[in-house]
Amino acid sequence: MTIKPFNPEPLTQDNAALVLVDHQVGLITGIRDYSVAELKHNVIGLARAAKALGLPIVATTTSADTLWGPALPELVGALPGQDFIDRTTVNAWDDPRVAAAIEATGRKKLIFAGVSLEVCAAFPAMRAVREGYEAYVAADASGTFTPTKRETGILRLLQSGVVVADGASLMVEILGDNARPVAGEVYGALDMDWATLVGQVRSAAFEQASA
């Protein structure tokens, strides 16, 4: 497969928004490409980092009372006051309230994450491209149910002109400068094990040098 090169201008705090689709307790129990704990870690980290960076956030659920259950309690806790738009449409964008909320962000670069990747995240991301937006999918905050679904979902995204990345890389791109006052909060939200270890090694070296 040949993928047309696409290298858009960088994401920034002023041009990007986050769309979280259907991270619900019923859906997440079927995830097989990540452990539930790892997927929750990635989703919550993405949400907290986006909040720290001041990004507009749109969040949805599907048939929360009758089908897939409520949004993850950890996600609700990470986004106090966030309105989770509950809908019945398969494609989140097909609900007029969701479409209006996305438009109201005023941003043209949209980062999507959803359970499952090939439907919840992919369908609105592909619609975003058709509507003239630039779309990104945080693949590690978007679980799914079989290896085939993940592989074909990512292929379809790439064929549709959607940028596929990991959530932490997208947030760090938006951060832009490690000297910014918000950097510590962003990295803390992402809670990357290797970054924590680097910080511990550096602190130990500093303490040893000061002794």
Residues annotated as catalytic are 120
Kindly give, in sequence order, each residue whose CB lies less than 8 Å from that of residue 125, ignoring residues fewer than 6 positions away. Answer: 110, 112, 135, 136, 137, 157, 160, 162
| Amino acid symbol at 49 | A
Kindly give, in sequence order, each residue whose CB lies less than 8 Å from that of residue 134, ignoring residues fewer than 6 positions away. Answer: 8, 108, 109, 110, 128, 163
Residue that the structure tokens 């990004």 belong to: 55
Helical axes 167-175 vs 183-190, angle rounded to 10°: 180
**Which SS3 state, helix, strand or coil, does residue 209 take?**
helix
